[in-house]
Amino acid sequence: MIQRIQTLYLFLVVVLTGVILATNILSFTNTGLIFLSPYRLYNETGITIKEAMPLATLFHLSFILVATAIFFYKKRVIQIRISIFSLVLYLGSYALIAYYYFTFKKDLSLEFNSFKIGAVIPLINAILLYLAVRSIGKDEALVRSLDRIR
């Protein structure tokens, strides 16, 4: 199970998703620094300004799906489907981040400051999931070709 390259890709996705849940995604300025994390929009003193729980829910769902996909190593078709669904969720998280960006910027009169490490991790996860799907597909093709020979 762990010696397969796709399992390592999926494991890296799980680890990076844990990292994104602990880091900030964007930072804004107003009278001070304001950060967007997967859970909330808060200022530098830690006071919550607005909640962002749908983003956290999206990342938690992706985390659970990819973690369970690791254990479906004998059912490669199911593993591919779960991985593709998770890939779509990670790409969809960018739409939600963009929504929060424009909504919070307009409603609270914020100025964009910078992207944080959490803004890049969903893209890295999508790339790793794509590589995992390709590797799982190669394994499935190999198994089917060997079944044909017998």
Tell me what pLDDT residue 87 has. Answer: 94
CA–CA–CA angle 67, 145, 135 (5° rounding): 30
Low-confidence residues in the chain, pLDDT < 70? 1-3, 148-150
Q: Using H for helix, E for strand and C for coil, what is the string for 61-110?
A: HHHHHHHHHHCCCCCHHHHHHHHHHHHHHHHHHHHHHHHHHHHHHHHCCC
pLDDT in tens, 66-96: 999 999 888 889 999 999 999 999 999 999 9
pTM (whole model) above 0.85: yes
